[in-house]
Structure 1
């Protein structure tokens, strides 16, 4: 961490995990903490975020960065925080798309994967890098609550130790019932707001450290490529 920022954090007893969100207000950067304090500085928000753990914070709009592990849900373009506050994201999901999501989620019929989507990515079927496309699922109030696998190549099924039939059209939290909700927040941000993200995290579901590369192939979808982090080599013993 930059020495100037580290000194500022130490002076005000701030740790990264204590931060709920960082916002720009009246020309200042306001760091909002779990204990209710708001610490102000003239240091640009982007400068502070750059010094944080990669992808711990999500820039949902100009001058607004939210801690991903403190987001409770995403409702349309509103990011609801665990403390009850909410922030407007960059993009607004079209109402027709939202209603289509609700219809699909509430339907009792099995929804077949999009043939167009499968055909578009079929050239990656035998690519040796795990790759999938997921679709956000919403409840009847518009809250993103899960995501469904719409495409998975052979390497992805090997990574998850599941067949393609077991993955496709199944929801993540139906397969992994104790899955971490932070995955939903990260993927939802890309699926709704576009752009791309790269983040590193440990997946307890498959017991692996992963580098995950995400982008938005179409509104409401997130495409992901997974690279396993190499294990640290065992220390060599010298005689």
Structure 2
């Protein structure tokens, strides 16, 4: 394989609009007829997909860091730290922060049950209800309630928070499926152009992503007092309605 061929494949992936139709056809022929070219194409395509994901700055996904005891903190973090729980037997296990986004996640432990509580504290412009705390190692998603809190988590009591990477996911848009409507569909789109089609049947709902290469990764289904977090892979999602006569609230995340 010559360097010019590799360069053309990279151009084809990144800047196809700059190539002539003849050049595009030549690259496609090389990929189809050469195993080596096809391997290079697949490698570069996957590499740039991951690169674009890492480079994209999203207001809906907030990286958090562990607040160290000696660390100088801004006013938002200090204010959150002064709100120590007065409930007996609760101690602060860890505090995760984003000074840039003025966001704090306090992790409290019940000394008797060793269960954990998660309290999300943010600025007034940022909603705290139904946000997701995503742990990357181990891979766990924790969903808060409408008040930005989650209680009674048992499985993570022994975790070392200094070794865990965490993200806070804010809903990018939400919608409601109303009762009394069957076999009808409607579309929902947010300001950045992310769009989904929602089809309601008698006892279940189907969700389809309308954008190619969508960045939507999760949908939270809240029905009555229950909630279910579903990962999105680009394929249609189906879920049952626990009560066809009640509303189902849908929250979408990147």
Question: When the two structures are superposed, what TM-score results if normalisation uses the length of structure 1?
Answer: 0.25
The structure with more helix, counted as a fraction of residues: 1
Q: Which has the larger radius of gyration?
A: 2
Question: When the two structures are superposed, what TM-score results if normalisation uses the length of structure 2?
Answer: 0.24
